[in-house]
Amino acid sequence: MIRLDYKIEKWPLKDPFRFAGHTIVELEAMHVTLVDGEHRGQGEGLVPVVFPITMAETETLMKLAQQGINTGGDPQKICASMPAGPGRNALDCALWDLRAKQSGRSVWDLAGLNSEADFIEVDETVGLGQIPEMAAQAKSSAHRVIKVKLDAEHIPERVAAIRSDCPRTELIVDANQSWTVDLLMQHAPALAKLGVKMIEQPVPPEQDHLLEEISCGIPIFADESCHVAADVDRLKSLYDGVNVKLDKTGGLTEALALVTAARAAGMGVMVGCMSGTSLSMAPAFVIGSLADWSDLDGPLMIQNDRVPAMQYEHGKLKKFSPALWG
């Protein structure tokens, strides 16, 4: 019989991380372990500050799942019955890891994907801050792609300073729903001239409908507006792509479904994270092998990573070790 154990972990950041409306100094993670005889699978879910769910609520859900699984319930059915979010993400990814360990097959094989990736290119995120500090961080990065966090203040100035110091870097920007449509249309021409390749979630989800009648000349991707595959039908006329995060989808299973739905709708795909340790990056890496952009630099922000940690080299993220996951 499979046994579920869980624990709540805290992972301090190297430095405070700011984005529109929030400052983070520490991550709160739900770590799940599934044990079946000699086989063990693990997964991690991060409670995001941008969505109305707490660790207390996540733990309540996990206690119910633990009670069901540890008394002989079907783990897959119990996982599927949970709402999308970090708790289900931790359990779903632990199930993928356990199945891989039990079968001796790779996650790619289990998911029916054609080939494994040895590495993927990832961006580095520049948090919101003073303009010189943001430019200096971007200049020091070894990554070819930089994601710039913005709010409603000094939009072109921040991007121009980074572009001046990083003339060959590919830039994407993330407003974290802090703009209006008017602000988007006001600054889009300048951002296009600065070579910005994509704008992520410019407006709050309740203003999504205002995007239908506009064209700003830069692809717009949905983040806070897109959680699961069922959201694609509503968003496909409003956004050019989606940001897939496993803490939103509730695991790799739904993340794969979201990628399939987005591609079928002709949308682009980015994979992101709520920061996290390498255990969060490992299943997201699978989505990264299918994505146009990969925003999986979470472990670079924390003081200490999980062991064995995934490895970053010159803007590339190497495939995870099976000792970590999958």
155 exposure class (CB count in 10 Å sphere: 0-12, 13-18, 19+): buried
Active site residue 193: no
End-to-end CA distance of the chain: 21
Name the catalytic one among 101, 149, 236, 319: 149
- Does the annotation place 74 within a ligand binding site? no
Residue-wise burial string across 239-251, b where 16 or more C-beta atoms lie within 10 A, e elsewhere: bbbbbbbbbbbbb
- Does the annotation place 208 within a ligand binding site? no
- CA distances for 68 relative to 23, 37, 61, 76, 109, angstroms: 37, 18, 11, 11, 29
Alpha helices per DSSP H over 141-277: 155-165, 181-193, 232-235, 246-249, 252-264
- Does the annotation place 15 within a ligand binding site? no
d(Cα 91, Cα 10) in Å, to the nearest integer? 18
**What is the Cα Rg of the chain in Å?**
19
CB proximity list for 184: less than 8 A, separation 6 or greater: 199, 202, 203, 214, 216
Active site residue 245: yes
d(Cα 145, Cα 295) in Å, to the nearest integer? 9
- CA distances for 67 relative to 63, 70, 94, angstroms: 6, 5, 16
Name the catalytic one among 101, 245, 248, 319: 245
Please enumerate, by residue number, every residue annotated as part of a binding site.
174, 200, 223
List, as residue ranges, the binding site for Mg(2+): 174, 200, 223
Q: Which residues form the catalytic set?
A: 149, 245
